Structure 1
Amino acid sequence: MGGKWMEISKDQLKKYAGLLEDWIPKGASIAIALRGEYVYYVAGNQDLQLQRGQKVKEGSIAEIVMQTCCRTEGVVEDKILNVPYYGIAYPIDILGETGALVVILPPNYSLVHQTPYRFLTGKQEEEWRPIPIEKIAYMESLQKKTWFYAGKEPYKTNIPLKELQQRLPESFLRIHRSYIVNVSFIDRIIRDFSSNLLVLLQDGTELPVSQTYTADIRNALGF
């Protein structure tokens, strides 16, 4: 990276972080990234041990914000420290360039502070449609992309299943690493030839239940 960010003092960067101080929970960590590396970091209770000059990871919320100039958030697995955290990142302008201001919180923050989704906006070709959450039959993770289905129509979303699961109403159940199903659309549950559970939806769709989630399904549906 060039020396441009070196012209920004720590006090100046602190002012950017101070933009959110009215609502940032006590104990949150704050990071600022610019030109592909972190230029500011103040550790809170969820300390990721970031260093000034450390490279921003590919696919991280900081990188996504700098590329899209849009706010993003979600639960993130830190592969270096093996510690999950909840991150919220905002695009900010620093000396005419787009940087990312990242707020780092405990991984259960979204469960406590966020309301369930009322709708999801899905993409079909070059159109985006908001779909009421109660009309969605199931959700699927396929080839690193997330899809949801309403009236058998597929819609693509950028929200991963892990994040969706945390903000869905109680009528949605995780049944597999790749599937979340709306109980309202279940017709019946049967066993396949290997005695594993299969969820059959009202439209004829068959979804497998993995062993990991079998007990959860039984407890939730009482059988």
Structure 2
Amino acid sequence: MENVDIPKKILNQYATILEDWVPKDASIAIAVSDRYIYYDPGMHDIHLKEGQHIQTGSIAEATIKGRRKVEVVMDNTLYGMSYFGIGYPIDVKGEPGALIIILPPNFHVLKKDQLQFLTGKRDDEWFPIPINEVTYIESLHKKTWFYTSGEQYNISFTLKDLHLRLPKVFLRIHRSYIINMSCIEKISRDFSSNLVITLIDGTELPVSQTYLNEVRSLLGF
């Protein structure tokens, strides 16, 4: 299909209009037909490129094909980072398109719905622990565990459920680990040059390649 040629200053007007109601850390993308024609990265940057083809399963594809608003949390399969996206159907020079707002994956969770405590089980007793005391959370042997200074607890949530309801200070670094970023002591590399995060209690946890881009982006290095 013929490429839609639109002056950059016109596309920038879309972003300017949106500034009044879109959070400043949002990224904004415009897709027309089968490709992205505009991308303005915010703090939550999924590294789209202007001219890049729309991928199967993306919010842009669903919005353009369905000609409807699409609002969904996306995992990191397509772009290496999880995100919450809202796609709005638009028309650009007579071609079907999509305006996409890209935000952190837990943005859609209202503040009142975010977890303030994790209630963990230990020795047949349950303990409500303030969320800021949790250093990291682990999926192990089909169970979920969270850790505080010197203690560990079993919890009924899965990591996927927790990822959407934890405050922004929590970061998923591996399919098996979510960490409290305020508990990071240092970030280093192991003998294979893979990133390793050391927490203030001395725990060392690997960063998987799947979550590497997201970790580097959110921690800013």
TM-score, structure 1 length as denominator?
Answer: 0.50
CA–CA distance in structure 2, aligned partners of residues 120 and 109 of structure 1 = 17
1:173 alignment partner AA: L
CA contact (8 A) 1:189 1:199 kept: yes
Q: Using the aligned pairs only, state the percent identity.
A: 57
CA contact (8 A) 1:111 1:167 kept: no
Q: Which runs of 4+ in 1 moved over 6 A?
A: none
CA contact (8 A) 1:146 1:159 kept: yes
What is the match of residue 131 of structure 1? Answer: 129
Q: Deviations over 1:30-61 (max 9, x none)?
A: xxxxxxxxxxxxxxxxxxxxxxxxxxxxxxxx
CA contact (8 A) 1:196 1:209 kept: yes
Matches within 5 A, 1:1-223: 111-112=108-109, 115-223=113-221
1:218, CA displacement in angstroms? 0.5
Q: Which runs of 5+ in 2 are unaligned?
A: 1-72, 74-104
TM-score, structure 2 length as denominator?
Answer: 0.50
How many residues align? The count is 117
Counterpart of 2:192 in 1: which secondary structure?
Answer: coil
Q: Deviations over 1:147-199 (max 9, x none)?
A: 00011211000100000000000000000000000001100000000000000
Counterpart of 2:113 in 1: which secondary structure?
Answer: coil
Q: Which runs of 5+ in 1 are unaligned?
A: 1-74, 76-107
CA–CA distance in structure 2, aligned partners of residues 195 and 152 of structure 1 = 29
Counterpart of 1:217 in 2: which secondary structure?
Answer: helix
1:207 alignment partner AA: L
CA–CA distance in structure 2, aligned partners of residues 133 and 161 of structure 1 = 15
Instruction: Flag the structure with more relative contact order, 1 or 2, with Cα contacts below 8 A and sequence separation at least 6.
Output: 2
Counterpart of 1:219 in 2: which secondary structure?
Answer: helix
